[in-house]
Structure 1
Amino acid sequence: MQVNINKIAIKGFKGYVDECEFVLGKRTLVSGDNGLGKSSIGEAIAWAITGCDINGNEKATARLVNDKKPKLTEVVLDFEIDGTPQTLIRRKKGSSNEIYLNDVKVANNDISRDLYKSKDVFLSILNPYYFPNLAPKDAKNLLSSILKPISKEEIFAELGDFLKEKLEKNKFRTPETFLTDKRAELKDQEENIIFLEGVIEGAKPIDISERKSFDNTELKNLKEQLKTLESVIKDPKFDELENKKRKLQLEFSKGYFDVKPINDTKWHKAEKDSLLKRFKEIKVKISNLGKNVVTCDNCGNEIDLNATLKANLEKELKDIQIKGVAKKKEIEEWEKENEITKAENAKAVQEWEIGLKYQIEAIQKEISELAAEKSKEEESRKEKITSIKAKVLELDEEERKVFAHNSNIEALEKENEKIKHDIEKSKREIENSKLKIAELKVAIDAGKQYNSIKLKKQTDIIGKYLDKVELQFEKLTKDGELKDDFKILYEGREFNKLSNAEKIKAGLEMSNFVSNMMDLHFPVFIDNAESITVIQELDTQMIMAKVVEGQELKVEVLK
């Protein structure tokens, strides 16, 4: 793929506040004094295509765009892909970002997929400083992605059947990680041996004392004596007396039932109250009756209509009075009789309670005398129980200590068996680790030889496109081992020790290498081109930026 940029329009980008257009050719020289925007043209090309600055840093683009109102940044590229005209526009306004390819809005991934494959590939071609400044790991990964793969079968053919078998046995799948993985396994096995040797050193058998014995004959006898003493039967007379006492106390709590009944005067008093009430009502009626005189139509005599009614009420009033007096007398006689009965009942209850209390006290006295009699015997029995319990406790503790001692001996014997087993196991594991180490060392050596053959073949491919630049992928250590490494050498000198002119020349060779390997011929932007007098001619568009003191910015198509 051949890409040539014919024209670039820049607005609001770094120092280009107002829109500026520049026509670019196969060979273009951008010259002028410092700070006029020469390098910004290369930055604008990188930003328009990748969205990054020319060093691949996306976050650094904040320094490229316009932060003044109306905060619009736009770069337009008119270019050709294999002769077909294309237009790419990248615009940033405020926080929005837009990309248009031939008036169609696209995403960054679309441009990457269809145009430049990857940011690292594009910038390694556009910017000669980009690839040499990559971290060694990133540079090697980029080379691996662009170099033509070399098949395992091709390398195995040179490696030989023995080493090939060792690699396959060790699951050789990814050459890039095989040595790292196997060295990690080797380190694990070596550390395992050190650990196991420490286990063996620290696993020393424990010194164990002899077991002890305990004769429990005395303890059994004492426990039998104690059982006999503690099972003394209580005198049944105690229970007999206690039962009698409880029955009398229960009888006392229930009270004396054999009392004479008391006449109930409640209903008689109610009847008397009812007669009194009726008496008062009739008296009120008589008082309120008055006269009700009428004249007879036949005889002309005056007749009192209420006279008969009044006479009847007065007769009823007298009857009620006689009944009330009789009822009162009856109640008084009953109440007098009740007072006599209450006195007789109280005397009977008192005599009953005195007799019952006497019986209870007599029984309690008998219980106390019996208890006093048994007290001396009980005191002697308790002294014997206390003495025997103390001796039993002492012998129990002695038996417990003997048991604990023997249990500890048993545990230590088991621990010694485990230690012996662990030592034997560790020795077997050490031997297994030694066998694995020997196998891993052969596998690592096979992996090194595999990589060495692969490196030689890749170096042969790379050498076709490089002149004074050499890529170093490994170095020889003090102990004679080849270690993975990556350096860019120019005429045998490391890149970081080169002059600015030599760095540009080395970068141009790498740019040309990536371009030819990928068949992607992108423009190359050479900054600080005044540092070299002769610039290597590349089969692609070249834009050179030179400092010319005192000169205004000038963009000149040379070819």
Structure 2
Amino acid sequence: MAITFITLTLQNFKSHRDLTVNFGEVTKITADNAKGKSSIMESISWLLYGTDVIGSKLDPTPINYESEGTMVSLLFSLGGKQVLLGRELHKGKTQYYINEIPSKAGSFKEILDQLFDKNLFLSLFNPNYFFTLHWEDQREMLLKYVTAPASKEVLNHMLDEQKKCLEPLLKKHSLNDLEELHKDNKKKKDKQYIAAQSKTKTLKEQMEHYQPTIPFESIVAELNPLKREREKIEKVTDSAGEINGRINVLNAKIHNLNKERDQMKKDWDLLKNEKIADHCRVCKQPLQEESLQSVKDEHDQRKDSFKKIFHQIVEDRKKLEEELKTLEYIDVTEQIEKVREIQSKIDPLEKELSKHKEFKFFQEQAQEAERVEKELLSSLNQSIFILDSIKAFRAKEAELQAEKVQALFETLSIRLFEKQKNGELKNTFEIEMDGKPYSKLSLSEGIRAGLELREVLSKQSDVIAPVFVDNAESITSFQQPTGQLIISRVVAGEELKIERVDA
């Protein structure tokens, strides 16, 4: 898109009562100081935006004579189509014109926004304007027209392990999502790993508590003969026949039945005295007569059932007692005492054997805890590596982007990032020439820096606009910029002179 100035008309703008400027491919403006050279440049920015060429407020009223109103109009072509814009200040009120038609401020601004971006236009028109912007706006404007390096390009410049790690992951997730995912995983696994370490330590301490004092083989070697001897004696006691066995069984059964009978006597008192609920347990409403009768019937059925069971127990016990009266016990006291003696030796051995089982249990638990701990550590280390790889990706991406931007310039150095103490990159923006920041440049160096910068912006944005080089006498030579060139030079003792030069 090419913007070409054709005619600028000033009426009562600062020192200019009535001035018409016809622009050529090169327009030369010469005069002594205070003859209104810079005012021509300012009139264009005031017409478009109501400011001077660096975006500050501007009073356009005459400085050395009285006038009721100020008028500035500019005829220019944009993409081959001519546009005439005007701004008039009359008795403190502003009137706008679009192709000589009076317009409202909103319509005027809307037309300007459609025609070109304000910051881009002023940066192309005034080589110094770009440097008056906040560094974040400068950075954004420059990067707006420079595509970031593709992920594949960045990965190809990374270490092989980091590339192998990130390449498949970036097919599923964006870099930001991947970073959030593993930041969250790292946070969780950090806590889980600490807990797992504590669990492993606790289980190992418990395992040490159950550490057997006697070897397993020694216990088995001593225990097995005792068990065999016990079994041998038990065979002798068993040989007393069915009578002793039956007596023992009968005594045991009678004993159990007596216990059961005694318990049922207690339970019968509870059942007999059980209060029948006349309200619903859930909703607390009184039961209907039919429901209440059902509850009573159910209670009676349980009592009848209870009586039957009780009578059966009494009957069974009587039968067992009658059978017991017919049997005579054969004494095996000596053999039983011997078994008890052997059992007293077996018990501590079995206790030691139990320790072996407990020890094995905690050993298995500790091994499982160690396995979980290793898995958590592996997952934690993986997330740490991925996060480090993402940091490396961003650093390499920043480096490649900086190289891409730097390649656009011949003499200027551009700094887009600065490294923090934690290794992460922070956005910044600094333009230097010959190792000096822009703020330290001389007037001529500043003009050259501005011209080079606006040339890059023009090429990258594909917008060609006129450029006004003020104080051109301070710079001996410079490369012809893209677009119309308007040069203002101080010539001692000379009145305002405007010369149009076409190719």
Q: Give the structure-1-normalised TM-score.
A: 0.48
Aligned with 1:90: secondary structure? Answer: strand
Q: Which residue of 2 aligns with 1:34?
A: 33
Counterparts of 1:71 and 1:151, CA distance in 2: 59
Matches within 5 A, 1:176-187: none
Q: Does 1:511 align with 2:454?
A: yes
Q: Does 1:163 align with 2:162?
A: no
Contact 1:164 1:446 in 2 (8 A): no
Q: Which residue of 1 aligns with 2:357?
A: none
Counterparts of 2:418 and 2:36, CA distance in 1: 42
Deviation at 1:32, TM superposition (A): 1.2
Cα offsets for 1:352-408 (capped at 9, x unmatched): xxxxxxxxxxxxxxxxxxxxxxxxxxxxxxxxxxxxxxxxxxxxxxxxxxxxxxxxx
Q: Which residue of 1 aligns with 2:83?
A: 86
Deviation at 1:438, TM superposition (A): 9.0
Q: Which residue of 1 aligns with 2:397?
A: 453
Deviation at 1:527, TM superposition (A): 1.2
Deviation at 1:156, TM superposition (A): 5.5
Aligned with 1:45: secondary structure? Answer: helix
Counterparts of 2:91 and 2:169, CA distance in 1: 61
Cα offsets for 1:126-184 (capped at 9, x unmatched): 1111113322211111122222355556545656242356778986459xxx99x99xx
Gap change, CA 1:456 and 1:171, over 3 Å in 2? closer
Deviation at 1:557, TM superposition (A): 1.7
Matches within 5 A, 1:320-359: none
Read off the aligned partner of 2:409 and give its amino acid letter. L
Q: Which residue of 1 aligns with 2:485?
A: 542
Counterparts of 1:505 and 1:487, CA distance in 2: 16
Deviation at 1:537, TM superposition (A): 0.6
Contact 2:54 2:132 in 1 (8 A): no
Q: Which residue of 1 aligns with 2:464?
A: 521
Matches within 5 A, 1:219-230: none
Deviation at 1:122, TM superposition (A): 0.7
Deviation at 1:452, TM superposition (A): 3.0
Counterparts of 1:145 and 1:527, CA distance in 2: 27
Which of 60, 66, 79 matches 1:64?
60
Q: 5+ unaligned residues in a row in structure 2: which ranges? A: 192-375
Counterparts of 1:496 and 1:521, CA distance in 2: 27
Q: Which residue of 1 aligns with 2:247?
A: none
Deviation at 1:66, TM superposition (A): 5.5
Q: Give the structure-2-normalised TM-score.
A: 0.53
Query: What is the CA RMSD across the aligned residues, in angstroms?
Result: 4.2
Q: Which residue of 1 aligns with 2:10?
A: 10
Matches within 5 A, 1:216-255: none
Contact 1:166 1:442 in 2 (8 A): no
Gap change, CA 1:6 and 1:158, over 3 Å in 2? same
Counterparts of 1:170 and 1:162, CA distance in 2: 13
Counterparts of 1:55 and 1:27, CA distance in 2: 22
Read off the aligned partner of 1:452 and give its amino acid letter. K
Counterparts of 1:145 and 1:156, CA distance in 2: 23
Gap change, CA 1:25 and 1:450, over 3 Å in 2? same
Read off the aligned partner of 1:7 and give its amino acid letter. T
Identity of aligned residues (%): 27
Q: Which residue of 1 aligns with 2:51?
A: 52
Cα offsets for 1:78-105 (capped at 9, x unmatched): 2222444332212233454333232343
Q: Which residue of 1 aligns with 2:342?
A: none
Q: Which residue of 2 aligns with 1:136?
A: 135
Deviation at 1:470, TM superposition (A): 2.2
Read off the aligned partner of 2:97 and give its amino acid letter. Y
Matches within 5 A, 1:363-382: none
Cα offsets for 1:35-86 (capped at 9, x unmatched): 11111111111222333321123xx13x234599764222111222244433
Q: Does 1:103 align with 2:100?
A: yes
Q: Does 1:556 align with 2:499?
A: yes
Deviation at 1:439, TM superposition (A): 4.3
Counterparts of 2:424 and 2:460, CA distance in 1: 31
Gap change, CA 1:502 and 1:436, over 3 Å in 2? farther
> Which structure would you say has the larger Rg?
1
Deviation at 1:512, TM superposition (A): 0.7
Counterparts of 2:489 and 2:130, CA distance in 1: 21
Q: Which residue of 2 aligns with 1:22?
A: 21
Q: Does 1:145 align with 2:88?
A: no
Counterparts of 1:455 and 1:14, CA distance in 2: 49
Read off the aligned partner of 1:112 and give its amino acid letter. L
Aligned with 1:19: secondary structure? Answer: strand
Which of 445, 450, 474 matches 1:531?
474
Counterparts of 1:157 and 1:98, CA distance in 2: 58
Q: Which residue of 2 aligns with 1:263?
A: none
Q: Which residue of 2 aligns with 1:374?
A: none
Q: Does 1:121 align with 2:120?
A: yes
Q: Does 1:501 align with 2:444?
A: yes
Counterparts of 1:140 and 1:36, CA distance in 2: 36
Deviation at 1:521, TM superposition (A): 0.7
Deviation at 1:496, TM superposition (A): 2.0
Q: 5+ unaligned residues in a row in structure 1: which ranges? A: 194-431
Deviation at 1:447, TM superposition (A): 4.0
Aligned with 2:457: secondary structure? Answer: helix
Deviation at 1:498, TM superposition (A): 1.9
Aligned with 2:13: secondary structure? Answer: coil
Contact 1:49 1:111 in 2 (8 A): no
